[in-house]
């Protein structure tokens, strides 16, 4: 039977129509994944920066406000500081795990004003759980008594809610919530 070209009209169009939804799904998935990955990296950087400041501040009053302010300023586009849910500052073990109930939880609602080295700082957070205030932190190499045998390790956990950017991805739900944690050894005060 001889090959006739006339019988193949529309075959390419049908094949394209069958593959188009999969191609669009792949493109939307890549777009959403890239924004989630960027937000995750931004939140991780903010957690590291906050942990470093908490370690440098040690037991100085106002350190938590300074940490919250820095985290707020570190969350940059395409991530948004409005999507931060809470920040937790806690006494950590060497592996970064929380020790007991020693933690401060700050929800992103209301506002808190405090002083740090003569500068007034206002942050859009409210302290909801206080179990590890600045004055409780040990920044003395020889220890501070109790369970503080040496300088503390302070952890900062930032919880962020990423909302899907494309309406197609919203079919799976409103978004994804994730947390990034960093622990840093407190700098001893001399």
Characterise 4 by phi-psi region: left (phi > 0), alpha (psi -120 to 50), beta (else): beta
Tell me which residue range forms the domain holding 162.
8-185
174 inside domain: yes
75 inside domain: yes
126 inside domain: yes
> Which H helix or E strand runs over 2?
none
Residue by residue, pLDDT tens for the chain (190 residues) are 555 555 667 888 899 999 999 999 999 999 999 999 999 999 999 999 999 999 999 999 999 999 999 999 999 988 899 999 999 999 999 999 999 999 999 999 999 999 998 999 999 999 999 999 999 999 999 889 888 889 999 999 999 999 988 887 778 888 999 999 999 999 998 7
Number of domains in the chain: 1
Between strands 119-123 and 112-116, the pairing is: antiparallel
């Amino acid at each position: 039977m001889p090959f006739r070209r006339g019988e193949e009209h529309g075959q390419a169009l049908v094949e394209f129509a069958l593959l188009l939804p999969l191609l669009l799904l792949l493109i939307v998935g890549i777009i959403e994944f890239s924004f989630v990955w960027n937000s995750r990296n931004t939140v991780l950087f903010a957690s590291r920066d906050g942990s470093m400041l908490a370690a440098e501040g040690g037991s100085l009053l106002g350190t938590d406000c300074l940490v919250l302010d820095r985290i707020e300023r570190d969350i940059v586009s395409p991530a948004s500081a409005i999507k931060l849910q809470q920040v937790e500052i806690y006494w950590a073990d060497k592996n970064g795990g929380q020790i007991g109930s020693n933690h401060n939880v700050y929800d992103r609602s209301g506002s808190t004003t405090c002083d740090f080295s003569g500068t007034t700082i206002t942050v859009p957070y409210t302290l909801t759980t206080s179990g590890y205030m600045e004055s409780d932190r040990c920044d003395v190499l020889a220890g501070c008594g109790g369970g503080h045998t040496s300088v503390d390790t302070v952890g900062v956990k930032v919880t962020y809610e990423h909302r899907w950017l494309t309406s197609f991805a919203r079919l799976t739900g409103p978004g994804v919530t994730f947390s990034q944690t960093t622990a840093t050894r407190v700098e001893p005060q001399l």
